[in-house]
């Protein structure tokens, strides 16, 4: 129908231009920001899912740092226990040497001097470095040290564990204190009795180190699992949030062409009113 008051072709072309302009603006925004979802109206459900995944990823990144820090702490404790074990082994060697009658009393006195120094250092490590001190691993007052350590290796409250290191420290303490140098362990025929005590102490230290190694391996497996989970959830979040540049570039090109076409159609349809006047002539 040829009408003067209602230009249906112009209205249709104008609506088409509005739609193309809106879609072109959305595509340009996505290409500019790199995100497919830039506001809640772009994808309400997708935004909710992506927000949850982002929260999980943030928690897992912190949990991975926690796990690495915990592993480093345990490795430091293990290194101290290793040093204690080596010191006790040297003390056992000295006791074994002193038990042999091939050495003189002067020789045994020299061995005792080294034995005493090693014993003092062992006591210092256990009572200061491991327990309190500026860099102590088990802080607290001297009469009530805190041996409980919580390991947070996940993004939720349930993904944690608590470990009590009292037995680990007690083994080290007993090994050091029961073999502290008093100046007579290798003299007056006491060396042979010291050998058994030192062997028992070395065994306790080895047991503690074994427990530490198992805990370190557990945390390392937790870290590896966190790495895999973080990779997968990051991929899922990106699939929802990130712009597919190939698809979006094609979409922007199509909408730009449609906008140009509809704009040209608006210009042409607006000229149809002149045809009405020509009929009157």
pLDDT in tens, 146-203: 677 788 777 677 777 888 887 887 788 777 777 766 777 788 777 888 888 888 888 8
What's the pLDDT band for 259 if we cut at 50, 70, 90? confident
More confident residue, 142 or 145: 145
Q: Tally the residues of the chain.
A: 281
Distances (CA, A) of 17 to 9, 174, 200, 253, 271: 12, 85, 89, 14, 17
Domain ranges across the chain = 8-34+244-279, 45-138+160-240
Q: What is the dihedral of CA 147, 152, 158, 161, to 10 degrees?
A: -30
pLDDT confidence band for 49 (50 / 70 / 90) = very high
Angstrom distance (rounded) from CA 223 to CA 64 = 6
CB 161 within 8 A of CB 221: no
Taking Cα atoms as reference points, which of 238, 126, 113 lies closest to residue 181? 113
User: Does residue 71 contact residue 220 with C-beta atoms inside 8 Å?
Assistant: yes
Instruction: Specify the pLDDT at position 142.
Output: 54
Mean pLDDT of 44-63: 90
SS3 141: strand
CATH for the 45-138+160-240 domain, from 1.20.1330.10, 3.40.50.2300, 2.170.150.70, 3.30.70.1400: 1.20.1330.10
**Do 207 and 171 contact (CB within 8 A), yes or no?**
yes
158/161 Cα distance (integer angstroms)? 8
Per-residue pLDDT, averaged over 200-217, amounts to 89
Look at residue 133 in the predicted model and tell me its pLDDT. Answer: 47
Q: What is the pLDDT of residues 91-136, one digit of tens each?
A: 889 889 988 888 888 898 899 888 888 888 888 888 777 765 445 5
Q: Is 247 helix (H, G, I), strand (E, B) or coil?
A: helix
């Amino acid at each position: 129908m040829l009408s003067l008051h209602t230009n249906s072709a112009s209205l249709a072309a104008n609506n088409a231009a509005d739609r193309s302009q809106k879609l072109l603006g959305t595509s340009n925004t996505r290409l500019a920001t790199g995100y497919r979802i830039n506001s809640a109206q772009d994808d309400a459900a997708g935004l909710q899912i992506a927000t949850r995944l982002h929260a999980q990823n943030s928690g897992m990144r912190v949990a991975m740092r926690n796990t690495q820090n915990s592993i480093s702490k345990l490795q430091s404790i293990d290194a101290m226990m290793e040093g204690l074990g080596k010191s006790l082994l040297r003390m056992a060697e000295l006791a074994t040497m002193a038990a042999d009658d091939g050495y003189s009393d002067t020789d045994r006195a020299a061995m005792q001097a080294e034995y005493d120094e090693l014993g003092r250092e062992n006591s210092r490590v256990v009572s200061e470095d491991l327990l309190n001190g500026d860099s102590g691993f088990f802080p607290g007052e001297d009469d009530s040290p805190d041996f409980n350590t919580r390991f947070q290796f996940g993004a939720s409250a349930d993904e944690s564990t608590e470990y009590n290191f009292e037995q680990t420290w007690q083994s080290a303490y007993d090994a050091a204190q029961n073999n502290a140098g008093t100046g007579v362990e290798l003299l007056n025929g006491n060396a042979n009795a010291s050998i058994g005590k030192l062997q028992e102490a070395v065994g306790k230290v080895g047991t503690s180190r074994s427990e530490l190694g198992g805990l370190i391996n557990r945390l390392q497996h937790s870290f590896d699992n966190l790495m895999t989970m973080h990779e997968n959830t990051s991929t899922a979040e990106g699939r929802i949030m990130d712009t597919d540049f190939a698809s979006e570039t094609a979409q922007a090109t199509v909408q730009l062409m449609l906008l140009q076409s509809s704009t040209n159609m608006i210009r042409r349809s607006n000229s149809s009113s002149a045809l009405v006047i020509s009929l009157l002539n």
